[in-house]
Amino acid sequence: MGLLSRKASCNSHGQDSSYFLGWQEYEKNPYHQLHNPKGIIQMGLAENQLSFDLLEAWLAKNPDAAECKRDGQFIFRELALFQDYHGLPAFKTALVDFMAEIRGNRVTFDPNHIVLTAGATSANETIMFCVAEQRDAFLLPTPYYPGFDRDLKWRTGAEILPIHCTSSNRFQITASAIEEAYRQAQKQKLRVKGILITNPSNPLGTTITRAALDLLINFISDKEIHLISDEIYSGTVFSSPGFVSIMEVLKDRNLEKTQVWERVHVVYSLSKDLGLPGFRVGAIYSNDPTVVAAATKMSSFGLVSSQTQYLLSVLLSDKKFRNYYIAKNQKRLQKRQRKLVSGLDKASIGCLESNAGLFCWVDMRHLLRSNTFEAEMELWERIVYDVKLNISPGSSCHCSEPGWFRRLKSFVNSKSHQELKSLRNGPHRIQKWISRLFQSFHDQR
């Protein structure tokens, strides 16, 4: 008999996927400008350190927020004892205002419908726990964030079935792809409880069109299932077409207060838009009071500390600052995206045109030895071990076409020397390596 439970020791964590293996390789040999200039550059972790200077400047001007003070008076004891799992009302109000603003105030959010969680990871697991039984299935458009295999399935016992999207229409969701995924679930005798989308998409860096959102609403109405929209990148949209939240579509179609309205849930977090994954601040927004009540009880397992809630309630209540931050961060993201795309272009590598997020979906199909996932892994190993860049292969995101890779836009503190160096190194290393690769193909012929 093993010491660990079957649940703890099974492989549902997904630790063996190339997504996590790349991290492990990076940790063994991390790049450092002085101590390890030939080390691996980390481009596989969706971190946004691009606007830390703005947050640091705000903290310097508003020291009370981090020092547990209100109007110069210590509120340490109040925060140390706070344990209401409904969360600090001031924080929930500031958070929903921020969420509305990111959506151009075209929709509003009620703070009583929000449940705070330790990041979007916990939000996604909690909502899944609330709406799915073991072996119930959720349909997810591919390619999708590799962490979902762990977050949605491991402890809940739920299943994920892919909605296969392809490069032929820029990986947009189609009615036939949804129908096909649903049929596959039925074939496997799985009950489909819902669809989960990421808008804007990780790894594509694109927003979902209104037409596709309409399709999804029609489908969940027809099948009487849930729709979870992970909108963790909603504040990162830097060019048109703009971001359309699923909540806007419901409102525009006058579906508020209907049964469909109650089956749509939004997941959010401050890990990407504010670049604070270490603070562990996430949320579920649901129109169904029973889901809100169940998720609130569940949230006891992953609460956000009162100190963090207090600090962020002050920060997000500063309307002028939050607007400035979001606009500036989006401009910086756009600048990075242009730089990366043109660097890759010089190396004859194309990308899916993107308008959001922290990454590019890079097309390296022409560099594969054959049109197979084995060839993709072979190429990925060469990129990690020879070029020393950790990027995520499309297969780790369940992409159905070999040869696509997710690459971060090199997000290190914009002021650091190391960033300038790795920024220069990223495309430069690729260019050098590609010419070597072409040379070796040529030599073999």
Ligand X SMILES: Cc1ncc(COP(=O)(O)O)c(C=O)c1O
Active site residues: 145, 230, 232, 272
401 binds ligand X (CB under 6 A): no
Axis crossing angle, helix 319-346 with helix 89-102, rounded to the nearest 10: 50
List beta partners, residue 70.
73
245 binds ligand X (CB under 6 A): no
202 binds ligand X (CB under 6 A): yes
355 binds ligand X (CB under 6 A): no
Tell me which stretch binds ligand X (CB under 6 A): 35-43, 74-82, 119-127, 297-305.
119-127
427 binds ligand X (CB under 6 A): no
Residue 203, exposed/middle/buried by CB under 10 A (0-12, 13-18, 19+)?
buried
What is the rounded distance in angstroms from the CA atom of residue 340 to the CA atom of residue 409? Answer: 6
Give the total residue count for the chain.
445
The one among 52, 98, 145, 171 contacting ligand X by CB under 6 A:
145
121 binds ligand X (CB under 6 A): yes
Nearer to ligand X by C-beta: 147 or 157? 147
SS (H, E, C) 299-346: HHHHCCCHHHHHHHHHHHHCHHHHHHHHHHHHHHHHHHHHHHHHHHHH
What is the rounded distance in angstroms from the CA atom of residue 262 to the CA atom of residue 130? Answer: 13
Query: Per the structure block, which two tokens stand in for 124?
Result: 């996604």
CB of 371 to ligand X, least distance (A): 28
Bond before 203 cis per omega within 30 degrees:
yes
282 binds ligand X (CB under 6 A): yes
Tell me which stretch binds ligand X (CB under 6 A): 56-64, 116-124, 175-183, 368-376.
116-124
Q: Which residues ranging from 23 to 62 are in contact with ligand X (CB under 6 A)? A: 46
237 binds ligand X (CB under 6 A): no
Nearer to ligand X by C-beta: 232 or 367? 232
CB of 165 to ligand X, least distance (A): 15
Tell me which stretch binds ligand X (CB under 6 A): 113-121, 241-249, 369-377, 434-442.
113-121
Q: Which residue is nearest to ligand X (CB)?
A: 119
What is the rounded distance in angstroms from the CA atom of residue 351 to the CA atom of residue 353? Answer: 6
390 binds ligand X (CB under 6 A): no
What is the rounded distance in angstroms from the CA atom of residue 113 to the CA atom of residue 298? Answer: 15
Binding-site size, ligand X (CB under 6 A): 14
The one among 162, 200, 277, 402 contacting ligand X by CB under 6 A:
277
329 binds ligand X (CB under 6 A): no
139 binds ligand X (CB under 6 A): no
198 binds ligand X (CB under 6 A): yes
Q: Are 285 and 291 in contact (CB under 8 A)?
A: no
Nearer to ligand X by C-beta: 27 or 78? 27
404 binds ligand X (CB under 6 A): no
CB of 24 to ligand X, least distance (A): 17
269 binds ligand X (CB under 6 A): yes
Alpha-helical segments (H) within 204-318: 210-223, 246-252, 259-262, 289-298, 306-317
Share in percent of the chain as helix, strand, coil (round to 5): 50, 15, 35
CB of 394 to ligand X, least distance (A): 15
Q: What SS3 class is residue 437?
A: helix
Nearer to ligand X by C-beta: 202 or 396? 202
> How far apart, in Å, do the first and last CA atoms of the chain sit?
56
Q: What SS3 class is residue 168?
A: helix
The one among 99, 217, 232, 311 contacting ligand X by CB under 6 A:
232
Q: Which of 144, 104, 128 is nearest to 237 (CA)?
A: 104
Nearer to ligand X by C-beta: 198 or 306? 198
Note the residues at the interface with ligand X (CB under 6 A): 46, 119-121, 145, 147, 198, 202, 230, 232, 269, 271, 277, 282
